[in-house]
Amino acid sequence: MSIKDIITVPNETLKKISQPLEKVSTNEKKLINDLFDTMYASKGIGLAAVQIGVLKRILVVDLSTKDEKRDPLSFINPIIKKVSNETSIYEEGCLSIPDTFIEIERPKICEVEYVDINGEKKNLKCDGLLSTCLQHELNHLDGQLIIDHLSKLKRDSIIKKISKTKKNPDR
């Protein structure tokens, strides 16, 4: 169990495509534990392996609120099988893009096929925040970020601001 550093923009690794897993071994189980530790430490609701620099198609999610019992969900090789025509809009943040929130419209409902930590194939129909969160994390596995929904001008200005803050952490 350990907390890893989260990669932030403009790190090029975030644009890379993550690779599917052939089997779930001890290494992957350890990686999933690290993802949960890192996500909880940063108070996030979702984290993809690429965000800690591992290009494997693994992501974790926990939408429980502060007063609730933790509800850890992990997804290996997730694929979206179906989406609804109906959409919903959420203001999304991302641990790889500090202090940035962007309203994004996505399909309201999605059906995800994935492999769980025991190597079993599962299916999950998601609605609401879980649906949005999973679509956001799945985008990470294909190198896509929420700032890719913006114009180049806006995207560049956000990246510039974050790069500046990184160089002068006191400001």
| Segment interacting with Ni ion, rule: CB under 5 A, options 19-27, 94-102, 148-156, 159-167 | 94-102
Which tokens in the block code for residue 4? 């890893």
Considering beta carbons, is residue 21 or 138 the nearer one to Ni ion?
138
| Segment interacting with Ni ion, rule: CB under 5 A, options 60-68, 75-83, 92-100, 159-167 | 92-100
Handedness of CA 92, 97, 101, 105 (dihedral sign): negative
Q: Which residue is nearest to Ni ion (CB)?
A: 94
Which residues, in sequence order, are CB contacts of 1 under 8 Å at separation 6+?
33, 34, 37
**31-34 long-range CB contacts below 8 Å, 24 or more apart?**
31/56, 31/58, 32/58, 32/60, 32/74, 32/117, 33/1, 34/1, 34/2, 34/3, 34/4
Q: Which of 50, 94, 102, 110 binds Ni ion (CB under 5 A)?
A: 94
For residue 102, which of 157, 47, 166 has the smallest C-alpha distance?
157
CB of 109 to Ni ion, least distance (A): 20
CB of 95 to Ni ion, least distance (A): 6
Structural contact between residues 156 and 114, judged by C-beta atoms closer than 8 angstroms: no
Considering beta carbons, is residue 24 or 97 the nearer one to Ni ion?
97
- Residue 120 catalytic? no
Number of residues binding to Ni ion, judged by CB under 5 A: 1
CB of 115 to Ni ion, least distance (A): 21
**Catalytic site residues?**
137
Residues engaged in binding Ni ion (CB under 5 A): 94
